[in-house]
Amino acid sequence: MTFTVLIPARLASTRLPNKPLADLCGAPMVVRVAQRVLSMTGRTPRVVVAGDHPSIVAACQSHGIDAVLTRADHPSGSDRLAEACTLLSLADEQIVVNVQGDEPLIDPALVSAVANLLQKVPQAKMSTAAHAIDTVADFHNPNVVKVVLDAQSLALYFSRAPIAFPRDASAALPSPAPLRHIGIYGYRVGFLKQFPKLAQAPLELTESLEQLRALWHGHRIAVHVTERAPGAGVDTPEDLERVRQLLTQRKVL
Protein backbone atom coordinates (compact mmCIF):
# COMPACT_ATOMS: atom_id res chain seq x y z
CA MET A 1 0.00 0.00 0.00
CA THR A 2 1.03 3.62 -0.40
CA PHE A 3 0.72 6.26 2.28
CA THR A 4 2.21 9.58 3.30
CA VAL A 5 4.11 10.27 6.50
CA LEU A 6 3.65 13.81 7.84
CA ILE A 7 6.09 15.12 10.43
CA PRO A 8 4.87 18.28 12.18
CA ALA A 9 7.69 20.53 13.36
CA ARG A 10 7.20 23.64 15.49
CA LEU A 11 10.17 25.90 16.14
CA ALA A 12 9.04 27.13 19.56
CA SER A 13 9.79 24.84 22.50
CA THR A 14 10.00 25.84 26.13
CA ARG A 15 12.30 23.06 27.31
CA LEU A 16 14.51 22.83 24.21
CA PRO A 17 14.61 26.00 22.07
CA ASN A 18 14.66 25.45 18.27
CA LYS A 19 14.18 21.74 18.89
CA PRO A 20 13.53 20.66 15.26
CA LEU A 21 16.88 22.16 14.24
CA ALA A 22 18.91 20.68 17.12
CA ASP A 23 22.03 19.02 15.73
CA LEU A 24 22.14 15.22 15.77
CA CYS A 25 25.55 14.21 14.44
CA GLY A 26 25.54 16.58 11.50
CA ALA A 27 21.85 16.84 10.68
CA PRO A 28 18.88 18.61 12.30
CA MET A 29 16.70 16.40 14.48
CA VAL A 30 13.65 16.68 12.23
CA VAL A 31 15.79 15.54 9.31
CA ARG A 32 16.97 12.54 11.34
CA VAL A 33 13.33 11.64 12.03
CA ALA A 34 12.53 11.77 8.32
CA GLN A 35 15.61 9.73 7.45
CA ARG A 36 14.66 7.15 10.06
CA VAL A 37 11.21 6.71 8.52
CA LEU A 38 12.69 6.53 5.02
CA SER A 39 14.93 3.68 6.17
CA MET A 40 12.00 1.26 6.43
CA THR A 41 12.16 -1.84 4.30
CA GLY A 42 9.67 -2.51 1.53
CA ARG A 43 7.86 0.27 -0.27
CA THR A 44 9.12 3.61 0.98
CA PRO A 45 6.33 6.05 1.82
CA ARG A 46 6.32 9.69 0.90
CA VAL A 47 7.71 11.63 3.85
CA VAL A 48 6.96 15.34 4.27
CA VAL A 49 7.86 17.68 7.11
CA ALA A 50 5.17 20.25 7.95
CA GLY A 51 7.11 23.13 9.48
CA ASP A 52 5.92 26.40 10.99
CA HIS A 53 9.02 28.43 10.07
CA PRO A 54 11.02 28.94 6.86
CA SER A 55 14.22 27.83 8.62
CA ILE A 56 12.73 24.35 9.16
CA VAL A 57 11.73 24.03 5.52
CA ALA A 58 15.14 25.24 4.35
CA ALA A 59 16.99 22.82 6.65
CA CYS A 60 14.94 19.89 5.37
CA GLN A 61 15.35 20.80 1.73
CA SER A 62 19.11 21.20 2.12
CA HIS A 63 19.21 17.53 3.21
CA GLY A 64 16.91 16.32 0.45
CA ILE A 65 13.81 16.02 2.65
CA ASP A 66 10.47 17.22 1.31
CA ALA A 67 8.86 19.96 3.42
CA VAL A 68 5.97 22.41 3.33
CA LEU A 69 5.52 25.68 5.22
CA THR A 70 2.37 25.81 7.34
CA ARG A 71 0.89 28.61 9.40
CA ALA A 72 2.60 29.42 12.68
CA ASP A 73 -0.64 30.03 14.63
CA HIS A 74 -2.14 26.53 14.56
CA PRO A 75 -3.56 25.58 17.99
CA SER A 76 -2.66 21.89 17.62
CA GLY A 77 -0.62 19.45 15.59
CA SER A 78 -3.73 18.05 13.92
CA ASP A 79 -4.55 21.51 12.55
CA ARG A 80 -1.06 21.71 11.08
CA LEU A 81 -1.40 18.28 9.50
CA ALA A 82 -4.79 19.14 8.03
CA GLU A 83 -3.27 22.20 6.34
CA ALA A 84 -0.39 20.08 5.04
CA CYS A 85 -2.88 17.65 3.47
CA THR A 86 -4.47 20.56 1.63
CA LEU A 87 -1.11 21.97 0.52
CA LEU A 88 -0.12 18.53 -0.79
CA SER A 89 -3.50 18.00 -2.52
CA LEU A 90 -3.98 14.64 -0.81
CA ALA A 91 -7.27 12.93 -1.64
CA ASP A 92 -9.75 12.24 1.17
CA GLU A 93 -9.42 8.47 0.84
CA GLN A 94 -5.63 8.50 1.22
CA ILE A 95 -3.88 7.52 4.44
CA VAL A 96 -1.36 9.64 6.32
CA VAL A 97 0.69 8.76 9.40
CA ASN A 98 1.65 11.42 11.91
CA VAL A 99 5.19 10.92 13.22
CA GLN A 100 6.31 13.49 15.76
CA GLY A 101 9.34 15.57 14.82
CA ASP A 102 11.09 14.88 18.14
CA GLU A 103 11.23 11.08 17.83
CA PRO A 104 14.47 10.22 16.00
CA LEU A 105 14.36 6.70 17.50
CA ILE A 106 10.96 5.82 16.01
CA ASP A 107 10.72 2.24 14.76
CA PRO A 108 10.07 2.40 10.99
CA ALA A 109 8.19 -0.91 11.18
CA LEU A 110 5.74 0.70 13.61
CA VAL A 111 4.98 3.45 11.09
CA SER A 112 4.16 0.88 8.44
CA ALA A 113 2.06 -1.20 10.85
CA VAL A 114 -0.11 1.77 11.81
CA ALA A 115 -0.73 2.61 8.15
CA ASN A 116 -1.49 -1.00 7.21
CA LEU A 117 -3.92 -1.38 10.11
CA LEU A 118 -6.01 1.55 8.94
CA GLN A 119 -6.25 0.01 5.49
CA LYS A 120 -7.39 -3.32 6.97
CA VAL A 121 -10.04 -1.86 9.31
CA PRO A 122 -12.48 0.13 7.15
CA GLN A 123 -14.71 1.17 10.06
CA ALA A 124 -11.82 3.04 11.74
CA LYS A 125 -11.07 6.69 10.97
CA MET A 126 -7.79 6.64 12.89
CA SER A 127 -5.16 4.13 13.94
CA THR A 128 -2.50 4.18 16.63
CA ALA A 129 -0.29 1.80 18.63
CA ALA A 130 0.26 0.43 22.12
CA HIS A 131 2.46 -2.03 24.01
CA ALA A 132 2.19 -3.92 27.28
CA ILE A 133 3.06 -2.13 30.51
CA ASP A 134 5.52 -4.15 32.57
CA THR A 135 5.94 -2.11 35.76
CA VAL A 136 3.51 -1.08 38.48
CA ALA A 137 5.08 2.39 38.50
CA ASP A 138 4.19 2.98 34.83
CA PHE A 139 0.68 1.62 35.40
CA HIS A 140 0.04 4.28 38.05
CA ASN A 141 2.01 7.08 36.35
CA PRO A 142 -0.39 9.75 34.99
CA ASN A 143 2.20 10.69 32.36
CA VAL A 144 1.87 7.17 30.91
CA VAL A 145 -1.33 7.13 28.87
CA LYS A 146 -3.23 3.86 28.97
CA VAL A 147 -5.69 2.43 26.42
CA VAL A 148 -8.26 -0.36 26.68
CA LEU A 149 -9.49 -2.26 23.62
CA ASP A 150 -12.54 -4.20 22.51
CA ALA A 151 -12.54 -7.65 20.89
CA GLN A 152 -11.65 -6.15 17.49
CA SER A 153 -8.67 -4.18 18.90
CA LEU A 154 -10.57 -0.92 18.58
CA ALA A 155 -10.01 1.63 21.34
CA LEU A 156 -12.68 1.84 24.02
CA TYR A 157 -10.98 4.58 26.06
CA PHE A 158 -7.68 6.34 26.69
CA SER A 159 -6.79 7.58 30.16
CA ARG A 160 -4.01 8.80 32.40
CA ALA A 161 -5.57 6.72 35.16
CA PRO A 162 -4.60 3.05 35.69
CA ILE A 163 -7.06 1.18 33.45
CA ALA A 164 -8.37 -1.45 33.43
CA PHE A 165 -8.12 -1.23 37.21
CA PRO A 166 -8.44 -4.55 39.07
CA ARG A 167 -11.28 -4.52 41.60
CA ASP A 168 -9.23 -6.53 44.04
CA ALA A 169 -6.26 -4.18 43.75
CA SER A 170 -2.85 -5.43 44.78
CA ALA A 171 0.77 -4.45 44.31
CA ALA A 172 0.97 -6.58 41.16
CA LEU A 173 0.03 -5.64 37.62
CA PRO A 174 -3.36 -6.89 36.42
CA SER A 175 -3.57 -9.73 33.92
CA PRO A 176 -3.72 -9.45 31.00
CA ALA A 177 -1.15 -6.67 31.08
CA PRO A 178 -2.49 -3.13 30.66
CA LEU A 179 -1.50 -1.27 27.50
CA ARG A 180 0.55 1.89 27.18
CA HIS A 181 -0.50 4.15 24.34
CA ILE A 182 2.20 5.11 21.83
CA GLY A 183 1.74 8.58 20.35
CA ILE A 184 1.73 7.74 16.65
CA TYR A 185 -1.42 8.15 14.56
CA GLY A 186 -2.72 7.12 11.19
CA TYR A 187 -5.60 9.07 9.63
CA ARG A 188 -7.83 8.96 6.62
CA VAL A 189 -7.20 12.34 5.02
CA GLY A 190 -10.88 13.25 4.86
CA PHE A 191 -11.26 12.67 8.58
CA LEU A 192 -8.04 14.51 9.41
CA LYS A 193 -9.38 17.60 7.64
CA GLN A 194 -12.61 17.28 9.62
CA PHE A 195 -11.05 16.54 13.00
CA PRO A 196 -9.88 20.06 14.00
CA LYS A 197 -13.40 21.35 13.29
CA LEU A 198 -15.03 18.93 15.76
CA ALA A 199 -16.06 20.42 19.10
CA GLN A 200 -13.67 19.61 21.91
CA ALA A 201 -14.97 16.81 24.12
CA PRO A 202 -15.44 17.24 27.88
CA LEU A 203 -13.42 14.04 28.40
CA GLU A 204 -10.65 15.43 26.19
CA LEU A 205 -10.41 18.54 28.36
CA THR A 206 -10.47 16.52 31.58
CA GLU A 207 -7.74 14.08 30.56
CA SER A 208 -5.87 16.49 28.25
CA LEU A 209 -5.90 13.80 25.54
CA GLU A 210 -6.87 14.99 22.07
CA GLN A 211 -7.67 11.49 20.75
CA LEU A 212 -10.68 11.33 23.09
CA ARG A 213 -12.37 13.87 20.82
CA ALA A 214 -12.62 11.25 18.08
CA LEU A 215 -14.14 8.66 20.43
CA TRP A 216 -16.56 11.17 21.97
CA HIS A 217 -17.91 12.00 18.51
CA GLY A 218 -18.39 8.32 17.70
CA HIS A 219 -15.35 7.67 15.49
CA ARG A 220 -13.38 4.45 15.93
CA ILE A 221 -9.62 4.16 16.47
CA ALA A 222 -7.85 0.90 15.56
CA VAL A 223 -4.90 -0.03 17.76
CA HIS A 224 -1.81 -2.00 16.74
CA VAL A 225 -0.26 -3.80 19.73
CA THR A 226 3.50 -4.13 19.36
CA GLU A 227 5.90 -6.19 21.43
CA ARG A 228 8.62 -3.52 21.21
CA ALA A 229 8.54 -0.44 23.39
CA PRO A 230 9.28 2.71 21.35
CA GLY A 231 12.42 4.76 21.76
CA ALA A 232 11.98 7.80 23.96
CA GLY A 233 11.35 11.17 22.36
CA VAL A 234 13.51 14.26 22.79
CA ASP A 235 12.01 16.80 25.19
CA THR A 236 15.03 18.13 27.10
CA PRO A 237 18.72 18.87 26.53
CA GLU A 238 19.48 15.67 28.46
CA ASP A 239 17.34 13.64 26.05
CA LEU A 240 19.15 15.23 23.13
CA GLU A 241 22.58 14.31 24.49
CA ARG A 242 21.50 10.72 25.10
CA VAL A 243 20.35 10.35 21.49
CA ARG A 244 23.58 11.91 20.25
CA GLN A 245 25.53 9.26 22.14
CA LEU A 246 23.41 6.49 20.62
CA LEU A 247 24.02 7.85 17.13
CA THR A 248 27.74 8.18 17.75
CA GLN A 249 27.90 4.58 18.96
CA ARG A 250 25.98 3.52 15.81
CA LYS A 251 23.28 1.84 17.90
CA VAL A 252 20.52 3.47 15.85
CA LEU A 253 20.13 4.77 12.33
SS (H, E, C) 69-88: ECCCCCCCHHHHHHHHHHHC
Residue 45's pLDDT band (boundaries 50, 70, 90)? confident
Residue 87: give the domain boundaries. Answer: 4-230
Q: What is the pLDDT of residue 128?
A: 98
Average pLDDT over residues 39-53: 82
**Highest mean pLDDT, choosing among 4-13, 86-95, 102-111, 241-250:** 86-95
C-beta neighbour count of 157 within 10 angstroms: 16
Q: H or E stretch including 247?
A: helix 237-248
| Domain count along the chain | 1
Q: Which residues sit opposite 188 in a β-bridge? A: 95
> Would residue 238 count as lying in a domain?
no
9 part of a folded domain: yes
Mean residue pLDDT across the chain: 91
Is residue 12 domain-resident?
Answer: yes
Domain annotation covers residue 252:
no
Mean pLDDT of 140-158: 96
Q: What is the pLDDT of residues 206-235, one digit of tens each?
A: 999 999 999 999 999 999 999 988 877 888
- Domain contains 127: yes
Please give the pLDDT value at position 250: 65
Q: What is the CATH number of the domain that holds 169?
A: 3.90.550.10
Residues 6+ apart with CB under 8 A from 184: 97, 98, 99, 100, 106, 110, 111, 114, 128, 129, 230
Whether 239 is in a domain gets the answer no
- Report the share of the chain in percent with pLDDT over 90: 74
Classify residue 87: in a domain, yes or no: yes
Residue 230 burial by CB count (10 A; 0-12/13-18/19+): exposed, middle or buried? middle
Short-list 29, 44, 5, CA closest to 104: 29
Q: Is residue 33 part of a domain?
A: yes
